[in-house]
Every structure is written in C-alpha cells, then in structure tokens.
Amino acid sequence: MSISPADAAKRAAAALALESVEGGMRLGIGTGSTAVWLVRLLAERISATGLDVVCVPTSEATAALARELGVPLATLDELGALDLAIDGADEFDPRLDLIKGGGGAHFREKIVAAAAARFIVIADEGKRVPRLGAFPLPVEVVRFGWPATEAAIRRALEGLDLGGAPIRLRERDGAPALTDEGNYILDLALGAIPDAPALARRLDSITGVVEHGLFIGMADCVALGRADGTAGML
Ligand code: 5RP
C-alpha cells in the first residue's frame, strides 16, 4: 500500500520509537495521527511476535483504536507507573520542550508522560521549531466560570509581555468542544513564547486551569520521521 510522504514520516517516527519497546513493559500510548501509526504498528508486532505489553491510552479515541486492533489495555489506576510513554507533539524546540494538545488530550497525556520512566516523542520535521508558540497553545479549563479563568489567563499573559494574544474557545460542530474529562479548551495564539518555562509556571498557578499544553523538561528524546520513510533519534 502506498502512503503519502506525511504519513511515511509519521510511520517512520512511530517505528523507530517502537524499537525501544520490550516484552513485559507497561506502555503509555499517545493521541493524534502519529500515535495512530504507533498503535497500528504495535498491534502488528503483538500479533506477529506475541509481544507481551500492557498499554495505558491517553484518550478515548486511542483506547477505541487499541481495542479494535487487539492491543491489551489497562488503566493508570491499575498500573500505577509506566516504563515508557510514546506520544506525538504539535511543536518541539531545541531543548525538547513541547506544545501538545492539538487533539485536546494533553491533560491525560501529561499525566501518562509524568508517570512514565521514559517519554519518547514521535514527530516529523514540520513539528521542529526554533521557539515554541506558532502553534496555538491549548489550555484546558473547567467549564464553571470559564470567562473568569480566561480573564486571569489574559492578566498572566500581560505580565509576560504576551498581552493582546487572541484567545479562542475551541469549538466542535458549532458548540464548545469538550475534552475526555468534560472540560473546555482555550487556544492561545501567542505567535512566539519568549520564556516557555515561565509561562508554564504562570498557567500552573491559575485557578480554573486544569492543564496547559506546555510540556517542559518532560521529553527524553524525539523520534524524528522523514518524508522518505527514514527516521533518527534526537
Ligand atoms: C493530542 C496531541 C497530539 O500528540 C498532537 O496534537 C500531535 O498530533 P498529530 O500526530 O496528529 O500531529 O497532543 O492532544
């Protein structure tokens, strides 16, 4: 089956990350189109070799795909800790800090990555940036009083010289989009984030913010896929 260059890059990244998966592992599996390749290739390996792994999915969508393909699942409550998490990203910078949450799953994704001894990001060249921020930063907020939370975010941005950035309530089918946890998402069009760790700390301190998509110091490496179907580890 021939696939597009974009899919060839995603598949190559997922395949390279899968080389780190060994029998007996407790594995966190991410969300998004690159993670779909991960789940497909993992399912193929399980079926071909009988690889013995148990996986915690980071979203209902990933759980449904994994179930359909026969990938063994467990909850993080059951496992407590993970050996490895593998997930996509919307952007990564030279320090391997990330923006995630384009698929709205960053809250569970961050919990899963934090519970894992090792976190491998799977990405293609389009995700590599000199500075985070061109991709709008997703911030999951509780529905109760969300305009007040948005106002608090605006004040925080002003304090970091990011004032005036458009903030958009994410919608799906003409209504506010709900995360798997039943929350809303605000997308912050920042353009460029001069100090991502400082912004992460500010957002962490705002009541009503459930989780933001800045993953600071969490990724151990990036499996970078290329359109020609090759991949390398950063
Ligand atoms: C979902 C995510 C995804 O990992 C991110 O959006 C990348 O997705 P894709 O592989 O489709 O580009 O963070 O919340």
| 127 contacts 90 by C-beta, under 8 angstroms | yes
- The answer to whether 100 is a known ligand-binding residue is yes
Indicate whether residue 138 lines ligand 1 (CB < 6 A): no
Tell me: the pLDDT tens digits for 103-126?
Answer: 999 999 999 999 999 999 999 999
Tell me: the pLDDT tens digits for 57-75?
Answer: 999 999 999 999 999 999 9
Q: Which of 91, 109, 140, 211 is catalytic?
A: 109
Q: In the predicted model, is pLDDT for residue 102 greater than 90?
A: yes
Is-catalytic flag, 109?
yes
Residue with tokens 């384009």: 102
For the chain, the average pLDDT equals 96
Shortest-distance Cα residue to atom 2 of ligand 1: 101
Q: How high is the ipTM of this complex?
A: 0.98
- Please give the model's pTM, rounded to 2 decimal places: 0.93
| CA 33 to ligand 1 center in whole angstroms | 7
* Cα-to-chain-centroid distance, residue 225: 16
Q: How confident is the model at residue 2 (pLDDT cuts 50, 70, 90)?
A: confident
Q: How confident is the model at residue 162 (pLDDT cuts 50, 70, 90)?
A: confident
Ligand 1 atom, smallest distance to 138 CA: 14
| CA 31 to ligand 1 center in whole angstroms | 6
Shortest-distance Cα residue to atom 5 of ligand 1: 89
- The answer to whether 127 is a known ligand-binding residue is yes
- Residue 223's alpha-carbon distances to 11, 14, 125, 209, 217, in angstroms, are 11, 7, 10, 30, 16
3-state class (DSSP) for residue 151: helix
3-state class (DSSP) for residue 46: helix
Indicate whether residue 31 lines ligand 1 (CB < 6 A): yes
- The answer to whether 32 is a known ligand-binding residue is yes
Q: What angle (nearest 5°) sits at the alpha carbon of residue 33, between those of residues 1 and 37?
A: 50
- The answer to whether 87 is a known ligand-binding residue is yes
Separation of alpha carbons 15 and 67, rounded Å: 20
Shortest-distance Cα residue to atom 10 of ligand 1: 34
